[in-house]
Amino acid sequence: MKIHRLVIALFVLLVLAGIFYWSEYRKPNRATAKVSAEAPPAILKLDRAAITRLEIKKKHAVPILLSRSASGDWQISGPKPLRADPNAVSRMLSTVSSLNSTRVIEERATDLKPYGLDPPAAEVDITEKNDQTQKLLLGDDAPVGGTAYAMLASDPRIFTIESFSKGSIDQSLDGLRNRKLFDFGFNDPNQVGLHSGAKNYLLTRNGQDWSSAGRKMDAESVRLFISKLSGLAASQFADSGFTRPTIDATVTWDDGKRVEKVLISKSGNGYLAKRENESELYRLTPGSVDDLQKAAEAVKPATADK
């Protein structure tokens, strides 16, 4: 009888231990649940691939319109057609498609002026393939915390967002423009030509080898020359001042399907450049052009072909 009671007592003890384990160790952690419930909400969750237009409207400035072409490339459509910087556009798309808040300041704001949202410092209209548009309003920087005020036109809540997120979205026209003179990738060119004064250089690729006038050229010296061409970029943009070009460079790439030509003229102590058949002017530093010319002069035959 005593053994029977002992067995029952042991069984009850095991049941109670199981209940205690389940209640204390298997249930959700209260602290975690509380943090999750109080986590700042997302402001925007969009399919980045579905975004087709971005329009930035600022006080006292002409609106900037970015649009995606049928091929998927982004261009500046307004205030006039311009080449867009793919990296700047990519950062902007990444930010607006997944924009998180750091906290909710007001659930139902009645006065937007204290936050710089009436009128907003900037409004960004994000349009998707279905022609639905989200209007994101950006306000002043918050006093502390490296944040700024933001809200959606369709949502009464006011949020704070990280300052770097605001910077990725609130772009200037020059900040969105492509400063590079050439679009080709480093491994893309099939043929490269440079005319500088009385000097002419023409390089043709066959597989991994480069040749000039039937002679195989040193791969490292060609690599440096192409790197200098690819790296040509504007220090500033200009409206006028381009004169007779003294240097021109032509790159054929994408298996001969694309040809880019850049013309360079002297301008004071520096240079101005333009892409063929385009009116935009790019101001180049003297050093970048000098380095390009030196790299062209340094291209030499391969050792075995000397």
- SS3 of 1-34: CHHHHHHHHHHHHHHHHHHHHHHHHHCCCHHHHH
- Tell me whether residue 23 is in a domain: no
The predicted-structure confidence for 213-233, as pLDDT tens digits, reads as follows: 999 999 999 999 999 999 999
More confident residue, 100 or 14: 100
- Tell me whether residue 281 is in a domain: yes
Domain residues for 293?
189-305
| Range with the poorest average pLDDT among 3-12, 100-109, 153-162 | 3-12
Residue 147 φ then ψ, to 5°:
-130, 170
pLDDT at 16 over 90: no
User: What is the value of pTM for the model shown?
Assistant: 0.81
At 84 the pLDDT is 97
Which of the listed residues 132, 147, 176 is the one where a domain comes to its end?
Answer: 176
Average pLDDT of the segment spanning 112-116: 97
- Tell me whether residue 11 is in a domain: no
Return the structure tokens found at 52. Answer: 């087709």
- Tell me whether residue 22 is in a domain: no
Q: Average pLDDT, whole number, for the chain? A: 89
Q: Kindly indicate the confidence band of residue 144, based on its pLDDT and cuts at 50, 70 and 90.
A: confident
The alpha carbon dihedral of 301, 303, 305, 306 has a sign of: positive
- Tell me whether residue 245 is in a domain: yes
Q: Which residue has the tokens 């204290």?
A: 114
Amino acid at residue number 151: M
Same domain for 109 and 55 = yes
Return the structure tokens found at 166. Answer: 């605001």
Same domain for 225 and 108 = no
- Tell me whether residue 20 is in a domain: no
Q: ∠105-107-110 over CA atoms, to 5°?
A: 90
At 9 the pLDDT is 55
Q: Kindly indicate the confidence band of residue 129, based on its pLDDT and cuts at 50, 70 and 90.
A: very high
Same domain for 267 and 244 = yes
| Range with the poorest average pLDDT among 29-38, 106-115, 127-136 | 29-38
Number of domains in the chain: 2
The predicted-structure confidence for 241-294, as pLDDT tens digits, reads as follows: 999 999 999 999 999 999 999 999 999 989 999 999 999 999 999 999 999 999
Which of the listed residues 134, 152, 176 is the one where a domain comes to its end?
Answer: 176
Same domain for 167 and 54 = yes
Same domain for 235 and 129 = no
At 25 the pLDDT is 41
- Tell me whether residue 72 is in a domain: yes
pLDDT at 40 over 60: yes
- Tell me whether residue 133 is in a domain: yes
Q: ∠189-192-198 over CA atoms, to 5°?
A: 170
| Range with the poorest average pLDDT among 34-38, 62-66, 238-242 | 34-38
Same domain for 275 and 213 = yes
Same domain for 136 and 210 = no
pLDDT at 33 over 50: no
At 35 the pLDDT is 36
The span from the CA of 88 to the CA of 180, in Å, is 13
| In contact, 223 and 187? CB cutoff 8 Å | no
Same domain for 198 and 166 = no
The share of the chain scoring above pLDDT 70, in percent, equals 87
Instruction: Render the chain in DSSP notation, one character per residue.
Output: -HHHHHHHHHHHHHHHHHHHHIIIIISPPHHHHHHHHHSPPEEEE--GGGEEEEEEEETTS--EEEEE-TTS-EEEEESS-EEB-HHHHHHHHHHHHEEE-SEEEESS-S--GGGTBTTBSEEEEEEETTS-EEEEEEEEEPSSSSEEEEEETT---EEEEEHHHHHHHS--HHHHB--BS----TT-EEEEEEEETTEEEEEEEETTEEEETTEEB-HHHHHHHHHHHHT-B-SEEESS---S-SEEEEEEETTTTEEEEEEEEEETTEEEEEETT---EEEE-HHHHHHHHHHHHH--B-GGG-
Which of the listed residues 176, 199, 228 is the one where a domain comes to its end?
Answer: 176
